[in-house]
Structure 1
Amino acid sequence: MPDTPDTPDTPAALTHRALAARATDPAGARELLGRALAKDVGYEPAWRWLAELVEEPAERVFCLDRAFAIEADPATGRARKVLGGVEPTPPREVEDLVEPPRPEVVGKPRRRGAWAALVAAVAVLLTVVGAYSASGGQGGEPVFVALVAGMAKPGSVAMERGLRMHLDVVNAAGGVDGHPVELLVYDDEDEVAKAEEIAERIVREDRVMYVVGHGSSDTALAAAPIYLRARIPAITPSAGSSRVTDGSDWYFRSMFGNRTQSDFLAAYAADVLKSAKAQVVYDEDESGRSVRESFAESFRQFGDVVAETPIDRSTVDLGRIDPVAPIVLATDVDRAVAVLRRLRTAGITAPVLGVASLGTQAFHDALAAAERELDRPGLLTSDLYVSTPLANDALSGPALTWAEDYELRYGEKPLWQAATARQALNVGLHVMTGRGLSFAPDQRAADRLRVRDGWAALKDRKNSFPALLGPLYFSPTGSARMSVSVVTSDGSRFVSAPVQLTIYEPPSDEALREGLAAGTVIAIGDRYLVRRQVVATGINLNEVRDLDTRDGTYFVDFFLWLKYTGDHVASDVQFVNAVKPDLKLGQPLRDVTEDGATYRLYRVGERFKSGFEFRGFPFDHQRLVVLLQNRGRTADQVVYVTDKEILDQPPSAYLRSGADANADINEIPNWVADSVRFFQRTVGSSDALGDSAGAGAGIYYSQYAGEVEIVRDTVPFLVKNLLPLVLLICVTYLSLFFSASDGGAPVSMGVTAILSTAVLLNNVTSQLPSVSYTVALEWGYYAFILLAATCVLIAMLRKRLVSTRRAAAERRLTTAARVGYPLYLLGVVLTYVTVFG
């Protein structure tokens, strides 16, 4: 495989070229990896990829061993464990990198004595501990889950990343009932024939518990009958065609399907955009045809579908396009950019409603690039409304944490496919955990049936799984019941549209009739939707101070602003965690309404409260939260999301005071403000609240949170509180050097150390509230009390051994104690460093 003159020849560059060639020229890819390792034998990614490309198990073990020796990655360790017992053999590409055998030693080797035995024992111990750690501490056989998608697409890459990221957490916590979970990735290249081939291969191999995939509707529909015959449960994170799940009791979907998406888009076009006409521009594939059929059926309940225009080689027949009727665009990103460009440059200004495949930042960036090329800002991004299961400005607390971790790990914000794939994986792990599955090969059919039945049991909100994007439960046809978010462009990204629709679960038949009569409830097919007001919310912290950890209260001073369209009930909020239960916003500092859009700015300074967790004391992190929600309107009526002004700022800016840009928000002594996060969440009850006529739907409210995470300034704290303990440790250690016949003094020193430690511990923990659990620092004090008690016992034993004329035994005991004392302390310190470092 020749190089071009400008091609870099670094190990990383050679590995990248090997990855690009691995599908078409595996032998050439192996050669490139061998060259990369010749330049840097310690380049771990090249070893790991070479392990994927070699064909012989012995060669794979050799590469995995080298990769694990460089970086002890748990996934590599588990891969080695699966191939356990195979003698490693170097692949031919790296034979020259293996050290030659050493000559045999001539003559009798010298004895190394007891020290050699000790070193060997320590090495064995470290090896056992390392192997145990590498395997995640799990003893069971792996549970396999398959991911099948066209792996060249960004959405599919995001799926794999989301799954691997979550499996790292799952396996570190013990896997599923002690069994590590392994991901098997199959690339169906989004081709029907390849999808059928891979589905048959999965059935033939008979290893996986369930399948996450396929990525597209065409491939999922092709594979569905194969999984159905084999009774292998499957769940797709992205295939929207209703026919995928309608035709199989064993196929599920972890996001909304095209039928739900079409209902929302039809209601949005009719009720929000106020149009009696609509049209569809679609791809001639399963997904596009499914959207065309389901949208036409949905919209005809409101008006006329005036055109259904297929896309032909990334273009459309403009003669068939109505210039003003909203256009539903059902295609992928590349063709959508070309179609939008053709429509807008031809002067067609109709609003465009995009399907979920377009709800990514990559699509927005492509549109912005095309606008720059045309030198017409806003030409393609205006009047654009795109459906998505994940709106980045409306993430809940756990979802926001996950998105931040994903970006930190992979260097980019997650696509929604990463979230829906994680939900697909997690709901499978959920129904397997603690359900009595045997995980034995001869019981795999029964285990798969339990997985399938577990998913089918998630049939309403009350019996849902708390997934990343909200409660996950399935319709009778296996599709996730979830609302469709609509995002629009703010010029640089997609943000939540000012008006949203959400699924309405009426609390009673009377409430439903009243809503339908008043026009606030939209009936479409067998579902009901309501308008939801979106309030762009911003919090700029000025100061946090006066922390009282005993009662969990603190003072927060901050600016709060609300942006919304519609009536002003959106600004009637309460602070649910304020010490004063009747705390109100008061009069706004600014109040501006233009073209139906309102901006209100307030300043709030008051005490708030949170439940603190002290198990990690003094290494604990505390969260100081300001939590607001509407006084009267539920989550069906109003939702608070993060304003773009907050999204435009780097997270470090949140730590600067809004009242003084040169000041820090933190005014709490002995604590450091570590981070600030803003997110929305939904709270409420899924039970009927005493209403005998209710439907059991419960009441839910949208809340908005500003959360400051603070950590103790641990070093000064430890110096101040542990210095007396360190002195006691030194004194107690000196007791081991007293004469064995003088047993009284060491015993007195040990008892005094125990009593003094108890007093010190009481003084340190007196600053905490009354808690029923043992905090981290207490375990350290208890460890020393045990050590001091052991020293007392050793002093008594030493005196007894001397009195019975067993001097050799006394000397061995003394030596062991003097060596074991610091080793014990070192073990305690290393434990704390490992857990809290």
Structure 2
Amino acid sequence: MSQEPVSAVALTHQAIRSRESEPARARELLCAALAEDREYEPAWRWLAEVVTDDAERRFCLERAYRLTTDPATDRALKALRRVEGRPPAEVGHLVEPPRPGATARPRTSRFGPRRWVAVGLAALVLSGAVGVWSASGGEGGEPVHVALVAGLTGPGAVNSAHVERSLRMRLDEVNDAGGVQGHPVELLVYDDADRPDKARGIAEEIVREGRVLFVVGHGTSDTALAAAPVYRAAGIPAITPTASSPRITDHNDWYFRSMFGNRTQSDFLAVYAARVLGARTAAIAYADDESGQSAHEGFVTSFGAFGTVTAELPISDASLDGTVDALTRQDPAAPIVLAADEAHGAEVVERLREAGVTAPILGTASMGTQAFHDTLLAAERERGRPGLFTADLFLGTPLAPDSLSGPALVWAKDFEQRYGERPLWPAATARQALNVGLHAMRTGGLDYGRNRTDDRRRIRDALLSLKDKKNSFPALLGPLYFNPTGSAQMSVSFVTSDGTRLVSAPVQLTIYEPPSDEALRKGLANGTVVAVADRYLTRRQVVATGINLNEVRDLDSRDGTYFVDFFLWLKYTGDHVASDVTFVNAVKPDLKLGTPLRDVTEDGHTYRLYRVADRFKNSFDFRSFPFDRQHLDVLLQNRTRTADQVVYVTDKEILNQSPEDYLRSGTNAEADINAIPNWQAESARFFQRTVGSSDALGDALATGAATGVYYSQYTAEVQVARDVVPFLVKNLLPLILLIGVTYLSLFFKANDGAAPVSMGVTAILSTAVLLNNVTSQLPSVSYTVALEWGYYAFIFLAATCVLIAMLRKRLVSKGHTDAERTLTRTARIAYPAYVLAIVLTYVVAFT
């Protein structure tokens, strides 16, 4: 038998097999796996499962989450938010050592023992005060500064407002959590009004002020190009969230882009027009600015590999009539590409459609916003002709609203709750720009003020290190890393109109990173891979997915299982492999969809409806028990096709419903989905995410950043909360009686010391029994749940009453009656105050 190869993957598999029988051996194997590859996320995640110390567990979870943005890891980290991470001793050598500090020669102390006790007590009080101050949001470090430069009063003011809101929202979260390395982060906002001359002046002002560590901005290609030489000369890193011209980042390793650039966008538009729409000719109309011109140049070059660009027309106020007239004379079936801002783009679309042009229209990301779509919808309503302007419209965007991942969906909801409107895509790319800059600050080894020039260089170097998927940053829209010219390596999503909102087009393209030369040759030969410019693209099937929950029941908190009954429908074009799905968290590993209740295919569009009723499982967290909220998930993904081939997005029928409707049963509209006694269904949400591993998975031919396998996963998540009031009434009534009885022990005479002592000891023992009964319904956990702290607090209180009874008797026997009366009065007042403080603490923490 061949020996199993020694690799991080193999060692991790060995650890998983032995973790139940030999936990110490599993821990040793996982540490060995990390010694082989410290960036192997599954090893960190499994090590977090086998360590027994919460501080070590948090450290491992932080490392895992830094490598892969996983909602389950995020929830586990939130449960340990009050714990300071500490690396397990076995992986201490993988952690960057601290910088050496100044050392001083030892001196002989002149303090006696009493003075040392006094100093120790003072230090204890001081450290406690510092701890309370820190817990209440105090920040010890000097503030550090990040600049935002955007056209807050320019033509793109709406987008810029979303960018600023997104950054302020994120920095509030960062500073509430203690800032970056203990330093609060302050945002300095500058308005360049989308004017290049003003942009350069602001860049020079930022350099003169000398406070900023990095810049988020500018908002347009023209303003970013004007400011780029200034930042480069001063050594200040900048990250633009919205400017798409490749000339901004070309030959400038101080400027980065947190979205795709126009070269990538042009490649996607060309392949979409040629291979998805089947066009041999196309026309392009472009704005007469840097963004429009670079998009025009890129599209002409990219489409030249597939056909002919028959018209290249500028868009401006002066040329608009001539441009529209020329476009109406083009081949009526040939697609028209528009590279313009929202206002000009909307006017061109309206005038073309009113002139009878029915050709498909493709738009760049500058038009791929809900605001642009709303403008066209308003024009349709005004004319009373639905679909006149929005039909056959395909818009590129970094953010398709129906395919948000779990974290992005939460962010979008929080943004809407805070600002009263859904975020536009620039808000998402701006958050990515800020987050990747903060990530560079955390990982770059900064001095924070002692040498700002070096700190900026370290941030730049940390950004440059994000060079492939394996060395990526887990950002809002997926793994973020930069291509050699400084743009985020990400695909362009295409959205179209459903008459109400923008939704993902049924066919998408994605960047293809070949795992091997043989796979690339085969893909090019069979047409599944398309070569364009210096990249490869492949077609991705989009499956509009809907889940209508019927019932959730039979929750077993000890083994983390539950029963879910639901309808599932899939809508797609293309072959039926899209409906070959597996439920990755089903109790039965072979659970299948079975025969569809409905199966309709018309004009290449398929609709399939299924009903699924079975048991599923999830990892529950009981740290807040009995105030805990649990997530009952149903996770599905394709059995054979990866995320490059098929992606599951939320169907418009789900998007059109209100969140309250998600909790109504699909089989009985008068009933809700919850059939779990003593639990309440609070919310349901549906989202997609990409899961997988960047490891080679044993493929000896896999090379570079393209290794690993990733799948599109669709999640239905029901959040349930325990019905706390009946639970507390049932389980805390005996404890309340014990609290009252123990309080009575303080009213006995001091000479009757035996009775209060007996009452206190009995209360302690009874409380231990009650606690065991309450927690017996929980699985074996290695942490203290919320309710246990209340019981421990009472045990401490009862033990204190015993000590007070003994002390009172001794004081009386020694003749210190005044001291005994003072102690008694103090205890009788402090007892209810202590109980009230504990109750208030629970109220504040869990309501």
Deviates more, 1:177-186 or 1:798-807: 798-807
Q: Which residue, out of 415, 421, 425, partners 1:412?
A: 421
Matched position secondary structure for 2:451 = helix
Give distance in 1, aligned partners of 2:241 and 2:840. Answer: 42
2:222 equivalent in structure 1? 218
**Counterpart in the other structure of 1:341:** 350
Whole-angstrom distance in 1 between the partners of 2:833 and 2:746 = 14
Q: Return closer, same or farther for 1:315/1:763 CA change in 2, 3 Å cut-off.
A: farther
Aligned residue in 1 for 2:392: 383
Q: Which residue of 2 aligns with 1:140?
A: 141
**In structure 1, distance between residues paired with 2:529 and 2:718:** 38
- TM-score, length basis structure 2: 0.82
**Cα displacement (A) at 1:522:** 0.6
Q: Give a deviation string over 1:339-381, Cα, whole Å, max 9, x none.
A: 1112222222221111111111111111111122333322211
Instruction: List runs of 5+ in structure 2 lacking aligned partners.
Output: 1-125
Q: How many Å separate the matches in 2 of 1:625 and 1:560?
A: 14
2: CA distance, partners of 1:169 / 1:303: 50
> How do 1:328-407 residues align onto structure 2 when only pairs under 5 Å count?
328-407=337-416
Match of 1:608 in 2: 616
Is 1:768 aligned with 2:769?
no
Provide closer, same or farther for how the CA distance between residues 183 and 315 of structure 1 changes in structure 2, counting only shifts above 3 A.
farther
Between the aligned partners of 1:436 and 1:489, the Cα distance in structure 2 is 47
1:305 and 2:309 aligned: yes
Deviation at 1:816, TM superposition (A): 2.4
Per the TM alignment, residue 764 of structure 1 is displaced from its structure 2 partner at its CA by: 0.4
Cα distance in structure 1, aligned partners of 2:500 and 2:309: 32
Given that 2:561 and 2:617 are in contact with CA atoms closer than 8 Å, whether structure 1 keeps it comes out as: yes
**Mean Cα deviation higher: 312-321 or 135-144:** 312-321
Corresponding residue for residue 189 of structure 2: 185
Equivalent in the alignment of 1:464: 472
Which of 411, 419, 425 is residue 434 of structure 2 equivalent to? Answer: 425
Correspondence 1:249 to 2:253: yes
Asked if residue 744 in structure 1 is aligned to residue 748 in structure 2, the reply is no
1:317 aligns with 2:323: yes
* Cα offset, 1:294, TM superposition: 1.2
Letter of the aligned partner of 1:149 in structure 2?
Answer: A
Alignment-derived partner of residue 579 in structure 2: 571
Change (3 A) 1:279 1:134: farther
1:239 alignment partner, one of 240, 243, 253: 243
Per-residue deviation, 1:433: 2.2
1:134 CA displacement: 11
Query: Using the alignment, how far apart are the partners of 2:440 and 2:815 within structure 1?
Result: 66
Q: CA deviation at 1:622?
A: 0.5
CA contact (8 A) 2:362 2:395 kept: yes
* SS of residue paired to 2:675: coil
Determine the C-alpha separation between the residues in 1 that align with 2:696 and 2:625.
Answer: 40
Tell me by how many angstroms 1:535 deviates.
0.5
Within-5 A mapping of 1:581-600: 581-600=589-608
In 1, the alpha carbon distance for the partners of 2:526 and 2:208 equals: 58
Give 3-state SS (helix, strand or coil) of 1:209's partner: strand
Alignment of 1:802-813 (within 5 A): 802-813=812-823
In structure 2, relative to structure 1, the CA distance for the partners of 1:749 and 1:761 (3 Å cut) is same
Deviation string 1:648-667 (CA, Å, 9 cap, x unpaired) is: 10010010000010011000
Q: Which amino acid aligns with 2:285?
A: V
- 2 CA distance for matches of 1:254 and 1:729? 58
1:560 aligns with 2:560: no
CA apart distance, 1:132 = 4.8
Q: 1:129 to 1:586 in 2, by over 3 A?
A: same
Which residue does 1:580 correspond to in 2?
588
* 1:459-492 deviation per Cα after TM superposition (whole angstroms, max 9, x unaligned): 1111111111100011121110001100001111
2:324·2:348 contact (CA, 8 Å) conserved in 1? Answer: no
Of 193, 198, 206, the residue aligned with 1:194 is 198
What residue is the counterpart of 2:804 in the other structure? 794
Where do 5+ consecutive residues of structure 1 fail to align?
1-124
Q: Which residue of the partner structure matches residue 782 of structure 1?
A: 792
Moved more, 818-827 or 602-611: 818-827
Pick closer, same or farther for the CA change 1:346–1:679 going to 2, 3 Å.
same
Equivalent in the alignment of 1:523: 531
Contact 1:315/1:338 (CA < 8 Å) preserved in 2? no
**Aligned: 1:708 with 2:709:** no
Q: What SS does structure 2 have at the residue aligned with 1:407?
A: helix
With over 3 angstroms needed to count, the CA separation of the structure-2 counterparts of 1:777 and 1:688, relative to structure 1, is same
**1:822 shift after superposition:** 2.1
- Find out whether 1:835 has 2:836 as its counterpart: no
Q: Distance in 2 between matches of 1:762 and 1:435?
A: 48
- Is 1:549 matched up with 2:557? yes
Comparing 754-763 with 738-747, greater Cα deviation is found at 738-747
Q: Counterpart of 2:152? A: 151
Contact 1:310 1:316 in 2 (8 A): no
Moved over 4 A (4+): 128-135
Once the 2 structures are TM-superposed, how far is the Cα of residue 752 of structure 1 from its aligned partner?
Answer: 1.1
Q: For residues 578 and 429 of structure 1, do their structure 2 counterparts lie closer, same or farther at Cα, with a shift above 3 Å needed?
A: same
Aligned to 2:833: 823
Q: Distance in 1 between matches of 2:324 and 2:482?
A: 40
Q: Any conservation in 1 of the 2:444–2:461 contact (CA below 8 Å)?
A: no
Q: Indicate if the aligned counterparts of 2:563 and 2:614 stay in contact, CA closer than 8 A.
A: yes
Q: 1:134 to 1:773 in 2, by over 3 A?
A: closer
Deviation at 1:316, TM superposition (A): 4.4
Q: Name the CA distance, whole Å, in 1 between partners of 2:137 and 2:503.
A: 40
The letter for the 1-side match of 2:744 is L
**One-letter code aligned to 2:246:** S
Give the Cα–Cα distance (whole angstroms) in 2 for the partners of residues 134 and 722 of structure 1. 29
Q: Percent identical across equivalent pairs?
A: 73
Return the alpha-carbon distance in structure 2 between the equivalents of residues 288 and 353 of structure 1.
14
- In the alignment, the residues of structure 2 paired with residue 733 and residue 129 of structure 1 have an alpha-carbon distance, to the nearest angstrom, of 33
Residue 512 of structure 1 pairs with residue 513 of structure 2:
no
Of residues 735, 755, 762 in structure 1, which corresponds to 2:745?
Answer: 735
1:619 equivalent in structure 2: 627
1:433 aligned counterpart, secondary structure: helix
Partner of 1:7: none
CA distance in 1, matches of 2:755, 2:446: 60
**2:103 matched residue in structure 1:** none
Compared CA separation, residues 292 and 179, structure 1 to 2 (3 A): same
Please give the alpha-carbon distance, in whole angstroms, between the structure 2 residues aligned to 1:150 and 1:257: 19
User: Does the aligned pair in 2 maintain the 1:209–1:232 contact within 8 Å?
Assistant: yes
Give the distance between the partners of 1:628 and 1:333, measured in 2 at CA.
Answer: 37
Q: Deviations over 1:76-131 (max 9, x none)?
A: xxxxxxxxxxxxxxxxxxxxxxxxxxxxxxxxxxxxxxxxxxxxxxxxx9xx9999
* 3-state SS of paired residue (1:684): strand
Matched, 1:481 2:492: no
Q: Secondary structure at the match of 1:531?
A: strand
* Cα distance, 1:315–1:411 mapped onto 2, change above 3 Å: farther
For 1:700, what is the secondary structure of its paired residue?
A: strand
For these two proteins, the number of residue pairs brought into alignment is: 710
Distance 2:610 2:527 in 1: 33
Query: Who is 2:297 aligned against?
Result: 293
- Structure 2 counterpart of 1:532: 540
Residues 526, 434 of structure 1: CA spacing in aligned structure 2 closer, same or farther, 3 A cutoff? closer
- Report the equivalent of 1:33: none
Q: Please state how far the C-alpha of 1:445 moved relative to its aligned partner.
A: 1.5
- How has the CA–CA distance of structure 1 residues 825 and 443 changed in structure 2, closer, same or farther, with 3 Å as cutoff? farther
